[in-house]
Chains A and B, each alone.
Chain A
Amino acid sequence: MDILFENVSHIYQKNTPFEFKALEEVSFHIPAGSFAAIIGHTGSGKSTLIQHFNGLLKPTSGHIRMGDFNITAEKKVKDIMDLRKRVGVVFQYPEHQLFEETVEKDIQFGPKNFGLSQDKIDSRLPEVLKSVNLPEGLLSRSPFDLSGGQMRRVAIAGVLMMSPDLLVLDEPTAGLDPRGQKEMMDMFSRVHKETQRTTILVTHSMEDALKYADYVFIMNHGKLVMEGTPLEVFQKEEALNQVGLAVPEVIKFLHAFESRFGQSIPFKGQSIQELAKEMTEIVRRGVKDE
């Protein structure tokens, strides 16, 4: 799904003393099929931004195009149900939305609301369960008996069932253990690669953005302050520090290496082993010169 934002602003509780400008003149374009990451300090407006993707919030001013759908302040969104069917949103702590008696019913809740046939639901279920790594034995359990990580998988399964054109993830790994985090991110990455569906990831983790995204947006105080490929953006250490963000560890390390040995190694997504090799190379050469 092609996404286009033009000068989008959002003001909470407009015309009251509590008025708050959460988004200010945000413009960007995300081409269909890409994996974009949105990064920003806490309170920078990331969640506000993504709630515009499926029409939960409307811009106070500006214009949004989501595929064929238009969202503006003045007009009611046509076929909003259709838009929500095509845009799957996994919210921060999605496990809070579970309510059905069994896991199975909860996973089917969204698809049924959007009018998916029972046949289709049944045929998709095993595949979706496999991709979120949930054993089928859990289907008849109450969602409230599961662990936090399992509950989150259930919520995500409900979204994947719809096989949406756009998958929006708001900090999907918050509060999981490191292994769970990696599994979850690898899962989203796999789903993205397999289906080429547009994916937008909101995250605090520079590492994840560097590893999975092919385009990065940096937000600060409701404004879009930087954008580009992860390699471009993460080179600008000072600018990132100014908005309260740090660069990924690898790049920090390479910068430290440069100031110590006076030799720069441009980062092109090398693995640890490859980088180690390049470094030994440089250090060895340096020793010979002396």
Chain B
Amino acid sequence: MIRFDHVSKRYPSGHEGLNNVSFHLKDGEMAFLTGHSGAGKSTLLKLIAIIERSTRGNVYVAGKILTNSKRHQIPEIRRNIGIVFQNNSLLTDRSVFHNVALPLVIAGYRHQEIGRRVRASLDKVGLLSRETSLPLTLSTGEQQRVGIARAVVNRPPLLLADEPTGNLDPELSKEVMLLFQQFKQVGVTVLIATHDLSLVSEFGERCLALENGRIISDKNSFKRDRIKSH
């Protein structure tokens, strides 16, 4: 689903965001992206969403090469990617419902279908009762979950999340990660950037570790025994 082929990203300022990064994430695979602050996690995700472009090497998503994608091709590519942003980037003047509905409105879904899917999505993140609230009246953690609901509402085959648990307490963080794992189980490819190593270690998923723009390790994280009570 995602393939990086010797990708480097040098920002106009001369700063090297990514340095010769290569990896392959298969269809339906889930991986964590870890690393210190400034390691290049966000940069890597931005290359996938074509928010930034690589300065060397090629990025492939769903078999298509992104490196030379034209301006008018970008919307179609992005529609197939659900993105949870580091700064939740919700529209503050729209209700939770409208925020989550945005990807469906853009894709031209029918009215009833929008309502159905938005509620299903809000239900998944436990915010169904807040659909009429404005984002600023929610806690930061709740806003982040609205962001997740928006990312998954049109069931994209690829889900990217940048620090989706940055503002959540450990319990809630784990629940959100479990939610992402559920998406993996229905076939969604999931890539999550996080610096919460202890949380990562609980899931036994693949883990790409970045340091100063380079991949320093790519392995399955240690899987601690989890009690599956449900």
Say if A and B assemble together.
Answer: no
Chain B residues at the A interface, C-beta cutoff of 8 Å: none
Chain A residues at the B interface, C-beta cutoff of 8 Å: none
